[in-house]
Structure formats: C-alpha cells, structure tokens
Structure 1
Amino acid sequence: MIKIRVVAFVIFTLWCCGFRSVCFADEPRIVGGGTVKEMEIKYQVSVRSKASDQRGFGRGHICGGSLITGNTVLTAAHCLVDDRDNPRAASFFRVVGGSIYRNVQTENTFVSDVRKIVVHSKYKPKGFLNDIGVMILISTVGSNHPSLQPIPTSVQIPPAGTICRASGWGSIYYDGPSSDVLKAVNISLISTARCNDASSYGGSIVQGMICAGNMSGGEDACQGDSGGPLVCNGLLTGVVSHGVDCARPGYPGVYSDVAYFRDWIIKNHSSMIQNSFLLTGLCLFYIATMYIVDSRR
C-alpha cells in the first residue's frame, strides 16, 4: 500500500509541477483622428506612473493598453521598462480605464494597482523586437461594468487593406501635447512587403510586427499611444509599438502582432497564472495529506 502511495505521489507531483511550469523611440499617439464618445471604446486603458498620477490625476499617463481579461492588460514591452530597459516593479504602475477623460475621474472610472508585470523575455529595444507585455491587476473589472470590458484577441492577421482602428491619449502631432480626451483613427493594414520597401522601413519589419496607417501620411499613432490597441473586425489585432515621427509619409505605424504572440499571451495572462497557483496549492495539500497519513502509520 505504501509503495502504491509513493508511486501515486510521484506521478501527481510531476504532473502538477509540469503543468505549473507551463502556467508559470518611438512612443506613438493619435494623429488625424477624432474624439471618441463615452462608452464607444470599452477596452482601452491608460498605463500610468502611480507616483506621478497621485500628484495629479492624469499626469502619470505613460502608455495605452487593452483589457483582455477582467484583470489582465496587454501593452507594449517598452512601456514596462526603465531607462536601462530593465522591467520596472509592478508597484511603479497603476492602470486607469472606463472613461474617455485622462484627467477627470467619473463615476465609471476604474483605477487599479498592479500585481505583476511580464515583459517578453526576448524583448529587444533595438528594433523593438518582441515588443509585448502583460500587466496583472490587483482589482478585477466586473462583468457588469458599463464602460470597461475585455476585448477578444485576434488569431490571424487580416488581409492588407483591412480598415482598423487605433486609439489613445497620445500627441496629436509629433512632439505635441497629449490629448485630454481619448481619440481614435481609422487606418488600413499595410502588407509587410510594402512596409519593407527600400523607400520605407527597408527590411526592418520582421515576424511579430504588422504595419498600419497611410503611406501618404496624415493618420497615425504618436507619442503616448504606445501599448494601445489596433482593432480590426472587433478583435485586438495589434499593440502600438513604434514608427518614424508621427504620420510621416512613407512610414506607417508599426504594431506588435497579437496573433503571432497569442501563445505567449495565453501562457502569461491572469487566468493561467491563477490556475498555476491553484495547482501549486493542490500539490502542497496533497503532500501535506500524504505526510500526515504516513506519519500515523
């Protein structure tokens, strides 16, 4: 009987630990767009410096982000690192959503501190490779919140020419002031081949990146929009990453490809992390139970 218990214990422990291991520049803003109506874009959040925001609500805005589960925000990796490109502590940040106003708290404004951040392990600031990160919030957005709800993520890139929507509180022109009200712009997806043309990015657009904008200029994300959403056909398709100036002819905006990073996102978002904690707890409970049973023999 003891041998059977030992074998069962080993198998269960290996299963638990194996599963747990699985669970465990350019800063663009909206140029050429229009003001968003209240409750029109429910997934957009503002990623902020908590200390700066406590000195004046709205002053802490750093980047945009998208709510993808009740307590998970998808954003850009470069929004989550310091000047030396090291990940900041989760306590540095707060996340705000539920209102189109950056500087005003309304009855629907949602504010949460951050429990954990995850920056892609292969993020490279030079070239903005793997420019993706997630934030696990301490508070959870309720399913009945009227103006803040998760957005589903894309499983594949739509074809070039698809009209998508970028949004944020970033600058309305290069080196200009940030917007006090959420703005959005409709832009087209541009093929990687066209974006990599010698007259454009010249080959620097690689896997994990997509281009969107207007090759003639005039419509783009800009400083302060980084980390924010690019939504195509109702699905989160891109994360604002980088570009050359803002709305510059020949240089559309570059976004991290959500579909390309889908497995990484699933591995690191909150529900998977919660599952890992649950399984760890079950493992410890099983170990303690077996120890008590065997000690009484």
Structure 2
Amino acid sequence: HKDYAEELTGEEILTRAVRQVEENKAGIAIIGSAGTTTDNDRKRFFCGATLITSRHILTAAHCVVDSNRKPEVVRLGERDFTTTDESRSFDYEIKKVTSHPEYTFFSKHNDIAVIELVEEVTTERSGNLLPYCIPSEPQDLSGQTCTFSGWGTRPNVGLSKTLVSVDVTVKALDECNQLYSVRDVNPVFKISFPRGLSDVSLCAGGEEVMDSCKID
C-alpha cells in the first residue's frame, strides 16, 4: 500500500474554516470512523476512515500517531451517531496501523496511514459495503467537482455526530501555490506546507467557509 500512500498524500482545501453540510447522499457508506474502546466498554470514534480493500482502511496519519488515543476499532456503514439503530453499521477490530514514514505532526505533507483489520469486510456480514476503487495511475482532476465526506471537527462544537460532505472544485497546483505565495496568506499554511503543495497533493475549494473538517 506504499504506492497508494505516496499517490494520495494530502488533501488540502483552500479554506480551513468550516461550515458543514449534513450528508444526505447515497453511496458514501464506505466512509467509516476509527476509534477506541473506553474503560466502560463504550466506543469513542474520532477520525474518518475509507475502506480500500476487504481488509484495509485509509485514514490520516495525524489520527493515529497520538499514543494517548491509538485507534482500536473501525466502524463502517455508520451515518448518524445520535441514533441507537446499529443494524446498518459494523465494527471491525484493528490489527495493525502503518503511518507514512515521513509524516511529522507539524507538517501536513504525507498525512496518510493504512489500517489493517483483523478480519475481512464481507458482503455476508456487512451487506453492500464495498471498497473504494483507488485509481492505479495518477489523474489530472483540475476543474472537476469532488465530494469530501467525513466526521469533521467544527469550531466550538467538536466532532460531528452525523456524516457530512461538501462539493468542491479541484484546482491546478500551480494556481494554488501562486495563491498561497502571497505575503498575507495564513501563516499556519506556511508552517504546515513549508515547501508548498507537491505533485501528490490535491488542492480544491469552493464556496467560502465550506469544508468537511476544519483540520483539512
């Protein structure tokens, strides 16, 4: 999975503010959530995760490097944590987590990790939960509309309890790097991306303050 990790490193969005949109589209069931089991056997989920094979999950490295909250379980099929109906969601125990070897907490480059599950995700148990099909070759998506989905953190609120999404337009990397080279750009960006956006980055934006997570 190293090739996939290098190909997909970073999904940078033009704006870091968040105004979230409730997810009501079909076909986003492969977006899961990674979490831990608390002392009273309750599960606490804190990061988005995408099924990419029958036994592997793609997530962000910043979600798994904190030794105080190592993910232990992945839930797939969940769309709303406020409901008690869990008939369409399924929990899978984590066997191994591998972060990109060049990821550092203060930089957003290489912010990617692969989770290996103890058991396979099967249609017999989990119905129509199928892995996301990752392209085998790099693609130029400039000008196309993409949908970001996840359990994003909202200012003054915390993690979303429902799956949210936002449509954004993919921008050319040259355009994004030129935009972020101006003097008055957010200083956080220059700390997070000291070398600018690379050819393995995906830069996208849309309506102002629209995002799926303020961390993106």
TM-score interval, normalised by the smaller of the two chains: 0.7 to 0.9
Residue matched to 1:46: 33
Greater C-alpha Rg: 1
Q: 1:208 to 1:126 in 2, by over 3 A?
A: farther
Q: 2:166 matched to 1:185?
A: yes
Quote the Cα distance in structure 1 between the aligned partners of 2:98 and 2:17.
23
Deviation at 1:222, TM superposition (A): 1.5
- 1:42–1:98 Cα contact (<8 Å) kept: yes
Please tell me the residue identity of whatever aligns with 1:174.
P
Q: 1:78 to 1:50 in 2, by over 3 A?
A: same
Q: 2:23 matched to 1:31?
A: no
- 1:29–1:170 Cα contact (<8 Å) kept: no
Cα deviation, 1:118-148, whole Å, max 9, x if unaligned, reads 1111112222221111000112211353342
Residue matched to 1:124: 104
Quote the Cα distance in structure 1 between the aligned partners of 2:170 and 2:47.
22
Quote the Cα distance in structure 2 between the aligned partners of 1:71 and 1:207.
28
Cα deviation, 1:217-266, whole Å, max 9, x if unaligned, reads 2311224xxxxxxxxxxxxxxxxxx44xxxxxxxxxxxxxxxxxxxxxxx
Residue matched to 2:212: 221
Please tell me the residue identity of whatever aligns with 1:157.
Q
Deviates more, 1:148-157 or 1:102-111: 102-111
Please tell me the residue identity of whatever aligns with 1:80.
V
For residues 1-297 of structure 1, what are the structure 2 equivalents within 5 Å? 31-37=19-25, 40-51=27-38, 54-55=41-42, 57=43, 60-82=44-66, 92-103=71-82, 104-144=84-124, 145-154=126-135, 155-171=137-153, 173-196=154-177, 197=179, 198-199=181-182, 200=185, 201=189, 204-214=196-206, 217-223=208-214, 242-243=215-216
Name stretches of at least 5 consecutive residues in structure 2 with no aligned partner.
1-11
Quote the Cα distance in structure 2 between the aligned partners of 1:72 and 1:190.
29
Give the TM-score of the pair, scaled to structure 2. Answer: 0.74
Give the SS at the match of 2:41.
Answer: helix
- 1:31–1:219 Cα contact (<8 Å) kept: yes
Give the SS at the match of 1:107.
Answer: coil
Aligned residues: 188
Residue matched to 2:8: none
Q: 1:53 to 1:187 in 2, by over 3 A?
A: farther
Give the SS at the match of 1:69.
Answer: coil
Cα deviation, 1:57-108, whole Å, max 9, x if unaligned, reads 4xx1211010001111011111110169xxx76xx42100112122445212
- 1:31–1:185 Cα contact (<8 Å) kept: no
Deviation at 1:30, TM superposition (A): 6.6
Q: 1:53 to 1:146 in 2, by over 3 A?
A: farther
- 1:168–1:182 Cα contact (<8 Å) kept: yes
- 1:30–1:168 Cα contact (<8 Å) kept: no
State, as a whole percentage, how many aligned pairs show the same letter.
26
Q: 1:143 to 1:83 in 2, by over 3 A?
A: closer
Q: 1:109 to 1:32 in 2, by over 3 A?
A: closer
- 1:102–1:169 Cα contact (<8 Å) kept: no
Deviation at 1:45, TM superposition (A): 0.5
Quote the Cα distance in structure 2 between the aligned partners of 1:75 and 1:52.
24
Quote the Cα distance in structure 1 between the aligned partners of 2:115 and 2:176.
30
Please tell me the residue identity of whatever aligns with 1:177.
G
